[in-house]
Amino acid sequence: MLTRREALLGSVLTAAAVAVVGAAPAMAGAKAQNVAGLPREKVTLVAPPFVHPHDQVAKGGPKVVEFTMKIEEKPLVIDTDGTQLNAMTYNGSIPGPLMIVHEGDYLELTLINPDTNTLAHNIDFHAATGGLGGGALTLINPGEQVTLRFKATRTGTFVYHCAPGGAMIPWHVVSGMSGAVMILPRDGLKDDKGKPVRYDRIYYIGENDFYIPRDEQGKFKKYDSAGDNYDDTVKVMRGLIPTHVVFNGKAGSLTGENAMKAKVGETVLIVHSQANRDTRPHLIGGHGDFVWEQGKFANPPAKDLETWFIRGGSAGAALYTFLQPGVYAYVNHNLIEAVELGATAHFTVEGKWDDDLMMQVEAPKAVAS
Amino acid sequence: MSFDPVFTFGTIAAAALIGLGVNHAIDGTLSRSRVPMALAELVTLAPGSFEHPRPGEFLKDNHPAPAPVAKEIIDKPLEIMKFQVTASDYDRCVSDGACKPADSRLAGNVPATGVSFLDAQAYANWLSAKTGETWRLPTDIEWAYVAAERFRADIEAGDGDPADPARRWLTLYRNESALGRKADPEPRPLGAFGANSKGVADVAGNVWEWTSTCYVHATMSGGAVASSVSNCGVHVVEGFHRTYMSNFIRDGKSGGCAVGTPPDNLGFRLVHDRSFLRAALRRLGLT
């Protein structure tokens, strides 16, 4: 155990040291001093699918928005059979929380790696510029913390993930270490014609592919710690066929009592991230009214989509106004992944049924002879 | 398979030799064979009648309605396995080449799981041939009678609202969620879920059971079924709640059409149809 841990830390530190050399000078600079005069706001993060309170249209000028995330290594159950993942998490959840700022704001994250953890971690923000997305400046050992600030220069939804160097990168990501940032235009979202659009609710769905090793009998193996599973897990990862494809860390995490809720007439923004692998969300019985497939709000949204494509390593956003009550399934429309591997969520939508949109003209009966 | 005192007391060996000398008592009393190799564990239920919500989907005035409740009569003693067919029972059928290996890798004194309706039927046919007696899956009515206070039927959502089909879908979804049953996938040794008031063990535990009743769409007129179309490619499965599965499904989690809690495992137990001749012989002390 101890040997394994030392080996992992060793390889991580080497990779990080190389990166830090090039990135360190970027810390200084005249512009950074201007930031000192900006107003600051502290935001408390909430676990997905929920999102911290935020303004859709920015009030006032740019500010520094402060977030804190604690990294937690802990076993998590990822399906109804009790299969266990030695998870690595940002703030205890898979995915990590969605962080929202506006264009021109500064996102300032304090990342804490408690000494109860066994591995070194960092964070690579796809929204950030330079320094390996911040990865080069944030590598921390158990018992350390670090604060990184980056300027939100481009609008959109962006993935963040752990990237502690070399073979550690994909392993940390498929152990749960990813999340998303949303950078809103200061004047809010706009439709394809530039007309402002708003949402009544927002949900954040992080999709994960997991690669759990099996024993000789074909049963999923359990490991005492993350380090113990590394060799076996990499073998499964190299096959590129996940054993689980799930939303929010577990098959069924967004169903039943935890199904997402909406009302007829409400507009919902669904942010969907996948840090590692392509996916294709589809709302069964609904649509994407306006979809930023690539997640970048400088591009006009696509309209009336049936299914949208989220590239591995990106986050997208879909805006939909529910028109009909009922139970909706939100799936990865590779239906094998949805049904067999776990990528299914539900919406329960209350409201008045519209016969004009749909009705059963005649109930099932024997074929007329 | 080596001799194991635990499973020789189980259903399999007992069931296979049931015709050779069984003492029967009515209602809740175990019947034990005196065959040295095995003790049969059957429960015989006295005839009776009870109120039973019928299986299937029911339409009234073109919209979904709750299942009608009918008075059902069990008119002769019902003899059923006290325990579900075990993995080692089932393995014997596999060894004989009459059954396909189950999906579950568990062996011994646990219920056979990972078996489809077709597998259950193959087992019943094999056991019947082996013993010269009739073994079969219970009907949905028989299962409900045996399950007694542990019978739940379908998760209901009441009358459909003709103006708003979504209302029923949402109610059903809520009712299923409200059951709050957590997945419990690992089969337990026989008897782990205890016996019900009829002395039948493990009813509505974490192994759902196949029945011989076909899925049906029925149209109601007044309180009665006016017409129906049945689909015997899908059978009623009973357990913690009632559900419907295609005949070839072995894993309830992948076979359910509902959004809610699927069966943890699929298994079965069998009814023993006594032949009158054999019963008469037994009464005369000739067996």
| Domain segments of chain A as ranges | 2-23+37-184, 203-225+242-350
Residues of B whose CB is below 8 A from A366: 227, 229
Predicted confidence at residue B259, as pLDDT, reads 52
> Can you give the pLDDT at residue B260?
58
Q: Which of the residue ranges A318-322, A338-342, B29-33, B185-189 has the most confident prediction, judged by mean pLDDT?
A: A318-322
Tell me which chain A residue has its CA closest to the CA of residue B265.
A81
Query: Phi and psi dihedrals of A18, rounded to 5?
Result: -60, -45
What pLDDT, on the 0 to 100 scale, is given for residue A98?
Answer: 98
Residue A29 pLDDT level (bands cut at 50, 70, 90): low
Q: Does A82 touch chain B (CB under 8 A)?
A: yes
Higher-confidence residue of A25 and B204: namely B204
SS3 percent helix, strand, coil of chain B, rounded to 5, is 25, 25, 45
- CATH fold of A2-23+37-184: Immunoglobulin-like (2.60.40)
The pLDDT value given to residue A116 = 95
Name chain A contacts of B260, Cβ cutoff 8 Å. Answer: 256
| Rounded-to-integer distance, Cα B24 and Cα B152, Å | 29
8 Å CB contact between A128 and A134: yes
**What pLDDT is stored for residue B178 in this prediction?**
86
Helical pair B87-95 and B117-131, crossing angle rounded to 10 deg: 70
Q: Are A16 and A165 in contact (CB under 8 A)?
A: yes
Please give the pLDDT value at position A63.
97
pLDDT tens digits for A175-188? 999 999 999 999 99
Instruction: For residue A177, say whether it is annotated as part of any ligand binding site.
Output: yes
Segment A146-183, tens digit of pLDDT: 999 999 999 999 999 999 989 999 999 999 999 999 99
A161 annotated as belonging to a binding site for a ligand: yes
CATH architecture, domain defined by B47-275: Alpha-Beta Complex (3.90)
The superfamily in CATH containing domain A203-225+242-350 is Cupredoxins -  blue copper proteins (2.60.40.420)
* Segment A101-144, tens digit of pLDDT: 999 999 999 999 999 999 999 999 999 999 999 999 999 999 99
| pLDDT of A19 above 70 | no
Q: Do A348 and B176 touch (CB under 8 A)?
A: no
A257 touches chain B (CB under 8 A): yes
Mean pLDDT computed over every residue of chain A: 92
Q: Do A326 and B170 touch (CB under 8 A)?
A: yes
Instruction: Quickly tell me which residue has 């290996």 as its tokens.
Output: B101
pLDDT for res A369: 78
Q: Which residue has the tokens 């971690």?
A: A121
Enumerate the residues of chain B whose CB falls inside 8 A of the CB of residue A264: none
Element (H, E) at A315: strand A314-321
ipTM score for this prediction: 0.79
| Residue B227 to residue A349, Cβ atoms within 8 A | no
Give the least confident one: A2-6, A247-251, A325-329, B133-137: A2-6
Residues of A annotated catalytic, as ranges: 121, 124, 126, 161-162, 172, 177, 282, 306-307, 333
Residue A215, pLDDT > 90, answer yes
Q: Does A360 touch chain B (CB under 8 A)?
A: yes
pLDDT beneath 50, residues of chain B: 1-39, 256-258, 287
**DSSP annotation of B229:** E
Q: What is the pLDDT of residues A266-287, one digit of tens each?
A: 999 999 999 999 999 999 999 9
- pLDDT at res. B286: 57
Percentage above 90 pLDDT, chain A: 86
Whether pTM > 0.80 for this model: the answer is: yes
For residue A281, list its beta bridge partners.
A332
A349 in B contact zone (CB under 8 Å): yes
pLDDT tens readout for residues A66-83: 999 999 999 999 998 899
Q: Which is more confidently placed, A74 or A6?
A: A74
The candidate with the shortest Cα–Cα distance to A12, out of A150, A171, A240, A134, is: A171
Please indicate whether, in this complex, the C-beta atoms of A362 and B62 are within 8 angstroms of each other: yes
pLDDT at residue A16 tops 80: no
